[in-house]
């Protein structure tokens, strides 16, 4: 993680030591991420639909604002980390949305996992009105948010990326820029297509392990040091073995991601059959069994 001093030294505009950061969406991911920026020495203005989820940040020195417009009016940079594309639409373009309050020359960074085309729409609107925008979805889970070890995938113009990189470095240990607006979201979709395989793989690996009468802890320890090792297995199998299905990463959010990825793939003429099967399994979990508020590791509960 970049130090606060390192962060400031790289920034190029005046008043950087007391940058005013707005943060909208203080759930599992956002609360921890916003806290890192405050710890790094920035002033924080926060808003979340459920106000109580900002209490910890406010107790630590953040200021509450009544809506996204009010956040934007008080900020140099506004970060958003909400749930679904419809939430992103609302916080940017709603009646009291960010674009009603953001001053000229200021920047927005959407870190929600959302649609590439919505990222492009936000960036086009920002550019047209003399504002700046990045899409910067993340990977690394609740643990990555807490430890500031997220992987951050960025889309947007070069100058805005360069200006915002020091702030992004506070939140993650790997920040990569992929190109124009929307490309960060495309990179995240590539990530989610990969995760579809690791989640279905770890689930069926565990079912098989138990059916074969093997010790799952021993199998996990063995697989972790071999060719089957992966982040999902290392982080989620121990939770499943403790019957812990708390999120982590909400299954309803993962289903949203798989739907975005498959819709984008379809528009590129791709038929991703394994990802489509993973989506069907998560539809059973979320839409049929009503388990969308469990973490993604709860997939095992549909078998
Ligand atoms: P979360 O706990 O549901 O947090 C989202 C927060 O945004 C909630 O507190 C929610 O308010 C707030 N919100 C939603 N719509 C809003 C609106 N219109 N106005 C104001 N606040 C609004 O979800 P999360 O796990 O932090 O995930 C956030 C995003 O990151 C999702 O897109 C997810 O797919 C992505 N992501 C998550 C993970 C992970 O491991 N958790 C990893 C990578 C990416 P309420 O409290 O009222 O619901």
Active site residues: 188
Residue from 23, 29, 52 whose mutation best tests the ligand 1 pocket (most atoms within 8 A of CB): 29
Q: Per the structure block, which two tokens stand in for 56? A: 């910890």
Q: What pLDDT does residue 8 have?
A: 40
Residues 133 and 124: their CA atoms lie apart, in Å, by: 9
Residue nearest to atom 13 of ligand 1 (CA): 82
CA-nearest of 26, 31, 104 to 68 is 26
Entry pTM: 0.94
Of 3.40.50.620, 3.40.50.970, 3.30.450.20, 1.10.1040.10, the CATH number of 187-302 is 1.10.1040.10
Which pLDDT score is estimated for 18? 64
Q: Is the CB of 81 under 6 A from ligand 1?
A: yes
Ligand 1 centroid distance, CA of 113 (Å): 9
Q: What tokens appear for 158 in the block? A: 């070069």
Residue located via tokens 């005013």: 20
Residue bearing the CA closest to ligand 1, atom 18:
87
Fold of 4-180: Rossmann fold (3.40.50)
For the CA of 256, the nearest atom of ligand 1: 34
Length of the chain: 303
Give CA–CA dist 302/261, Å, rounded. Answer: 23
Task: Check residue 1 and give its pLDDT.
Answer: 35
CA of 142 to the centre of ligand 1 (A): 11
SS (H, E, C) the chain: CCCHHHHHHHCCCCCHHHCEEEEECCCCCHHHHHHHHHHCCCEEEEECCCHHHHHHHHHCCCEECCCHHHHHHCCCEEEECCCCHHHHHHHHHCCCCHHHCCCCCCEEEECCCCCHHHHHHHHHHHHHCCCEEEECCEECHHHHHHHCCEEEEEECCHHHHHHHHHHHHHHEEEEEEEECCCHHHHHHHHHHHHHHHHHHHHHHHHHHHHHCCCCHHHHHHHHCCCCCCCHHHHHHHHHHHCCCCCCCCEHHHHHHHHHHHHHHHHHCCCCCHHHHHHHHHHHHHHHHCCCCCCEHHHHHHHC
Cβ-based neighbour number of residue 227 at 10 Å: 6
Rounded Cα–Cα distance for residues 218 and 209 (Å)? 10
Distance CA 35, CA 46 (A): 11
In the prediction, which pLDDT does 3 show?
40
Full pLDDT tens readout for the chain, 303 residues: 334 333 444 443 333 456 999 999 999 999 999 999 999 999 999 999 999 999 999 999 999 999 999 999 999 999 999 999 999 999 999 999 999 999 999 999 999 999 999 999 999 999 999 999 999 999 999 999 999 999 999 999 999 999 999 999 999 999 999 999 999 999 999 999 999 999 999 999 999 999 999 999 999 999 999 999 999 999 999 999 999 999 999 999 999 999 999 999 999 999 999 999 999 999 999 999 999 999 999 999 999
Query: Is 8's C-beta closer than 6 angstroms to any atom of ligand 1?
Result: no
Closest CA relative to residue 110, chosen from 119, 101, 98:
119
Residue ranges per domain, the chain?
4-180, 187-302
Most ligand 1 atoms within 8 A of CB, residue of 31, 35, 48 to mutate: 48
What was the pLDDT predicted at 61? 97
**pLDDT at residue 228, rounded to an integer:** 97
CB 258 within 8 A of CB 192: yes
Residue 113 CA: nearest ligand 1 atom is: 32
**CA–CA distance, 126 with 131 (Å, rounded to integer):** 5
Tell me which residue of 28, 78, 88, 21 sits closest to 53, measured CA to CA.
28
pLDDT at 17: 58
Q: Which of 24, 26, 27, 68 to mutate to test the pocket of ligand 1 (most atoms within 8 A of CB)?
A: 27
Cβ contact 286:252 at 8 Å:
yes
d(CA 3, CA 154): 21
């Amino acid at each position: 993680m970049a130090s606060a001093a390192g962060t400031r030294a790289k920034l190029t505009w005046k008043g950087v030591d007391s940058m005013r950061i707005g943060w909208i969406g203080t759930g599992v991911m956002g609360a921890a991420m916003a806290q890192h920026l405050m710890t790094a020495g920035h002033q924080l203005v926060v808003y979340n639909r459920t106000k109580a989820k900002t209490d910890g940040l406010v107790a630590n020195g953040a200021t509450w604002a009544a809506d996204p417009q009010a956040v934007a009016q008080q900020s140099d940079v506004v970060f958003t980390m909400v749930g679904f594309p419809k939430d992103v639409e609302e916080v940017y373009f709603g009646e009291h949305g960010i674009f009603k309050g953001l001053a000229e020359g200021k920047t927005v960074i959407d870190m929600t996992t959302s649609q590439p085309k919505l990222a492009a729409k936000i960036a086009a609107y920002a550019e047209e009105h003399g504002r700046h925008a990045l899409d910067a979805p993340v990977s690394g889970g609740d643990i990555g948010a807490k430890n500031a070890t997220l992987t951050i995938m960025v889309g947007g113009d070069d100058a805005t990326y360069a200006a915002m990189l020091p702030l992004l470095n506070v939140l993650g240990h790997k920040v990569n820029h992929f190109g124009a607006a929307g490309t960060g979201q495309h990179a995240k979709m590539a990530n989610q297509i990969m995760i579809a395989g690791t989640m279905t793989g770890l689930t069926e690996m565990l079912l098989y392990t138990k059916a074969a009468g093997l010790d799952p802890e021993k199998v996990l320890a063995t697989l972790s040091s071999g060719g089957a090792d992966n982040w999902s297995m290392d982080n989620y199998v121990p939770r499943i073995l403790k019957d812990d299905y708390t999120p982590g990463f909400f299954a309803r959010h993962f289903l949203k991601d798989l739907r975005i990825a498959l819709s984008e793939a379809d528009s590129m003429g791709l038929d991703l059959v394994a990802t489509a099967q993973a989506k069907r399994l998560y539809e059973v979990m979320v839409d049929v069994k009503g388990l969308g508020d469990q973490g993604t590791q709860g997939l095992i509960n549909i078998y």
